[in-house]
Amino acid sequence: MEADLIMEHDIGTGYKIHLDEPVIVSMAAPGETRWGRHQFVRLSRYPEDKILLRFHAGADSVTAYGEDEPAFLSADSGHTWTPYEGEGFSATGSSFAVFNDEFLCVPHAVPFNVKAAGLNLPEPVGTFFSYRQVNLYRADQCAEAIQTHLNRQVCTRWHPETAEWVNEYLSWDSRHRLVWIAQGEEADRVSGTWTEHAPIQLDGELLYTDYRASYLMDNESVPQGCGVACMVSMDNGRTWQKRATIVGPNGIPGSVSNMTEPVLALDVNKNLVCVIRRADQEQKSLLITFSKDKGQTWEGLRPLEELGPIGVFPSLVSLDCGLLGLSYGRPGVHLTFSLDGTGHSWVKPITILPGDRDLLSTKTDGYTDLIPIGPDEFLLAYTDFETKDEMGRHRKAVLVRRVWISRSTGGVI
């Protein structure tokens, strides 16, 4: 039996995990196999109790950042999805709930084209490799137009009083900031940052983990790869400051890894849990780390070796029933749980979709996203490259499944 058709899983200590049949949200055109197209799915809250689903439609390249993304809305907790037809909302990016019943979208920023602007770059202060060579430059040594591009980003805010989206600008911390530029076809393109997951609301602050904005290390040295920072906003997402370095590329002694695609959640005790991808050219396990002081210091950093050398774009869901869920993939798609809600231990993963360790770009991209829809249920979104259409053809598909939890003694939690 295919792993993703097993509908019920006993994960021990009285808990059972149930999976509804997948809902097909969108299918790529027959024969579409190019990497990046119809991939990298994301779920987010949308005004009026709706859920927004978006995915990437172009190449997996900096040159495609900022291109329009297909969007779908669900008004019934993921049972049905309709193409987004609203006005005023950004053509790219997700929608996240913030304070004062507002919603914020920080869209994928269109890269600044240095060459087209007729500008020159300073000498690089460092380089690293992430599928291709990446050069690092001091932001404060770059032309003013480049600095403005990085520090003054367009975003869109939904106001409950008018029920409308309004464009505005946000600023991202520029202190000790670096500009990264990939070489090859992406050369001369300066990329900004955007929100891939929902910021955490905690004691009047918004907290977010970022890797797209690069910074000097705490000792002001140049990093040897991507690092992850904890960002904080005290004005409901209008300005963001770097609170702390969560982990740098040398975070695990004896190795250098590009730390990317972090996700942040509150544990059962309202402390922070952060899971981070470090797979790049080499398959590696995810990392996990914890903070008890709202992201100012981080402790307990360790590889999640028990989950295997798997892990791109992890997603966390903190449930009111006390469990913490984690999805991740490549190869395949997998789901696990921390039964005590702290993230310090995880049950044996459930394989939602099997993968191929020798052919990582087949079957699925491994990107997943989770969003709660009740105290003991959530939605899981992922892609399946081998979904059959009505004519029996394999096509890339964006899927959503309801996952719900019960006790073995009977009844939902």
pTM of the model: 0.95
Cα gap 377→403, rounded to integer Å: 6
- pLDDT of 2 strictly over 70: no
Percent of the chain beyond pLDDT 70?
97
- Output the pLDDT for position 4: 45
Tokens encoding 2: 């295919």
- Condensed to tens digits (0 to 9), the pLDDT of residues 349-373 reads 999 999 888 777 889 999 999 999 9
Q: Are strands 164-172 and 239-247 parallel, antiparallel or unpaired?
A: parallel
Instruction: Give pLDDT, residue 362.
Output: 83
Q: Distance between CA 187 and CA 332 in Å, rounded?
A: 32
**In which band, very low, low, confident or very high, does the pLDDT at 325 lie, cut at 50, 70 and 90?**
very high
Report how far residue 399's alpha carbon sits from residue 397's, in angstroms, rounded to the nearest whole number. Answer: 6
The residue type of 314 is P
pLDDT in tens, 102-125: 999 999 889 999 999 999 999 999
Q: What DSSP assignment string belongs to 140-172?
A: GGS-HHHHHHHHSEEEEEEETTTTEEEEEEEEE
73 near 52, Cβ under 8 Å?
A: yes
Structure confidence by residue, pLDDT tens digits, 29-70: 999 999 999 999 999 999 999 999 999 999 999 999 999 999
Structure tokens at 40: 């990298």
pLDDT at 181: 96
Alpha helices in 152-291 (DSSP H): none
> With 70 as the cut, is the pLDDT of residue 410 above it?
no
Q: Output the pLDDT for position 210.
A: 97
Report all structural domains of the chain as residue ranges with CATH numbers, in order of start. 3-407 (2.120.10.10)
Beta strand 287-291 pairing with 272-277: antiparallel
pLDDT band at 412 (very low <50, low <70, confident <90, very high): low
pLDDT at 253: 87
6: confidence class by pLDDT, cuts 50, 70, 90: low
What integer best gives the mean pLDDT of the chain?
A: 94
Query: Higher pLDDT residue, 132 or 281?
Result: 132
Strand stretches in 292-364, DSSP E: 299-303, 312-318, 324-329, 333-338, 350-353
Q: Which backbone phi and psi does 318 adopt, to 5 degrees?
A: -100, 115
**pLDDT tens by residue, 178-225:** 999 999 999 999 999 999 999 999 999 999 999 999 999 999 999 999
Answer yes or no: is pLDDT of 160 > 70: yes
Is residue 235 scored above 80 in pLDDT? yes
Q: What is the CA radius of gyration of the chain?
A: 21
pLDDT greater at residue 303 or residue 361: 303
Residue with tokens 């507002």: 102
Highest mean pLDDT: which range of 4-8, 303-307, 355-359: 303-307
> Which band of pLDDT confidence, cut at 50, 70 and 90, is reported for residue 1?
very low
| φ/ψ (deg, to 5) at 309 | -80, 60
Does 135 have pLDDT greater than 90?
yes
pLDDT above 90 covers a percentage of the chain that reads: 87
Query: Residue 322 phi/psi, 5° resolution?
Result: 105, -10
Is residue 104 classed as helix, strand or coil in its secondary structure?
strand
Q: Coil, helix or strand for 359? A: coil
Pick the more confident residue, 403 or 280.
403
